């Protein structure tokens, strides 16, 4: 039987043109990688910038995050933010050839990509170090003078529609879309984000320009750049190319944290999957939790629920032949709301007795609440985190700059650690 059982829990919500530099001077050095140096600053147009110099890098990489995503799609235009993301790759005033950017990147041992999330859109690329300056020049034009060639609008709509069609047999995508149906009607998080020919039918260049001019502003952009060049060289390449991006002085986009009803009852959703799988997901909707970045309460709770050793929730479920695996941690997370998810891989018996599995989860949560956490738990988590940090694979390229351009959107520059890993 091909089934997946997903349970959503609606619970109460918990409560003069100059460059500004952060970090106690211009340069910050990562203690694990002494050859790697960092520089953080704010351009005169209020764009946040992080530079990373590392002479061991073979390629240069850049990532720019814009603080607007699918939750800002206009009514009746599902997928417009995603559609605009596609169109930026198809020519600019300085480089009008629709394929010149991708050709340049691929010719010089690089790649590029982009994605649209509910609250942000990210663009990134990496390329051979000898061509990095030109790559930055081409990249910057996305945010200075895109063409939005009307002759390519229909073709790109079909590409969007094709992308959606490929997602249809993907269980992860199907579950993700059904999850949205549990959200409050009218809440922007409920939007269908990808877009199709139907939702984008009639979308014009004028509509794209309006969305671009309404939401793409330098004061809502975060740029991270990494390369083998020294910091002064990287800065000399970045500043003249990105300082002219228009600052429309936009306010930060915030949406209601009440994306699910304050209802103590469970909301049960059954989803039939393509693959033969059995799982139970408990989703706890929360208000924003990003400001708890120092104490990491969701990380601690995820560690306890996801523990697999003696006395753990999973060990009990396995002993009762109800589950084969369990993971827990933060789910959706942005400046407006978040969630905590518990996902359990069920056995056939567990699927038949899913209510018993749910009871076990809440019995464990009640135990944690009543007994509290002994000090040794905190010390163990701290030690494991330090070990993970010390022996983490050295981040490079887009995997490095993508993290920084996203973190700069969520956290104050002054509080951003030089290495987020």
Give the active site residues.
85, 156
Q: In a 10 Å sphere around its CB, with 0-12 CB exposed, 13-18 middle and 19+ buried, how is residue 3 labelled?
A: middle
Give the pairing type, strands 279-287 and 4-9: parallel
Q: Rounded to whole angstroms, how far apart are CA atoms 81 and 63?
A: 18
Give the pairing type, strands 337-346 and 28-29: unpaired
Q: Rounded to whole angstroms, how far apart are CA atoms 222 and 416?
A: 13
Q: What is the secondary structure of 351-417 as a DSSP string?
A: HHTHHHHHHHHHHHHHHHHHH---HHHHHHHHHHHHHHHHHSPPP-HHHHHHHHHHHHHHS-GGG--
Q: Rounded to whole angstroms, how far apart are CA atoms 64 and 114?
A: 9
Half-sphere exposure of 330 (CA within 13 A, CB side): 17
Which residues 6+ apart lie within 8 Å of 289 measured at CB? 14, 297, 298, 330, 333, 338
Token couple for 241: 């190319």
Which of 259, 99, 96 lies closest to 191, judged by CA?
Answer: 259
Q: Rounded to whole angstroms, how far apart are CA atoms 148 and 96?
A: 10
Q: Rounded to whole angstroms, how far apart are CA atoms 57 and 229?
A: 9
């Amino acid at each position: 039987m091909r089934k997946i059982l997903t349970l959503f829990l609606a619970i109460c919500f918990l409560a003069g043109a100059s460059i500004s530099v952060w970090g106690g001077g211009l340069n910050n050095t990562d203690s694990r990688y002494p050859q790697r140096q960092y520089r953080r600053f704010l351009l005169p147009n209020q764009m946040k910038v992080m530079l990373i110099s590392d002479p061991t890098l073979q390629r240069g990489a850049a990532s720019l995050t814009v603080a607007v995503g699918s939750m800002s799609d206009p009514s009746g235009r599902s997928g417009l933010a995603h559609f605009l993301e596609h169109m930026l790759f198809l020519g600019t005033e300085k480089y009008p050839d629709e394929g010149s950017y991708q050709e340049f990147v691929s010719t010089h041992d690089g790649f590029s990509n982009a994605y649209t999330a509910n609250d942000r859109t990210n663009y990134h690329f990496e390329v051979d170090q000898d061509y990095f300056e030109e790559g930055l020049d081409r990249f910057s034009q996305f945010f200075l003078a895109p063409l939005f060639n009307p002759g390519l609008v229909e073709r790109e709509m079909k590409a969007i529609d094709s992308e959606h069609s490929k997602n249809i047999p993907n269980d992860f995508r199907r579950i993700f879309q059904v999850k949205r149906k549990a959200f409050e009607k009218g809440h922007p998080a409920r939007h269908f984000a990808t877009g199709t020919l139907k939702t984008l039918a009639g979308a014009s260049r004028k509509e794209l320009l309006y969305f671009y001019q309404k939401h793409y502003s330098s004061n809502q952009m975060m740029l991270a750049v990494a390369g083998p060049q020294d910091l002064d060289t990287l800065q000399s390449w970045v500043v003249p190319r990105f300082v002219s991006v228009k600052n429309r002085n936009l306010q930060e986009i915030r949406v209601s944290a009440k994306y699910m009803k304050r209802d103590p009852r469970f909301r049960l959703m059954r989803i039939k999957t393509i693959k033969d799988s059995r799982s139970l997901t408990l989703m706890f909707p929360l208000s924003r939790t990003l400001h708890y970045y120092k104490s990491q309460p969701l990380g601690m709770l995820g560690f306890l629920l996801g523990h697999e050793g003696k006395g753990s929730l999973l060990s009990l479920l396995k002993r009762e032949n109800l589950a084969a695996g369990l993971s827990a941690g933060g789910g959706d997370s942005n400046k407006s709301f978040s969630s905590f998810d518990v996902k359990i891989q069920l056995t056939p018996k567990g699927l038949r007795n899913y209510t018993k599995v749910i009871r076990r989860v809440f019995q464990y949560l009640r135990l944690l609440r009543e007994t509290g956490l002994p000090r040794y738990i905190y010390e163990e988590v701290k030690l494991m985190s330090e070990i993970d940090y010390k022996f983490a694979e050295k981040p490079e390229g887009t995997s490095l700059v993508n993290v920084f351009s996203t973190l700069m959107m969520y956290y104050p520059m002054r509080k951003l650690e030089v290495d987020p890993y």
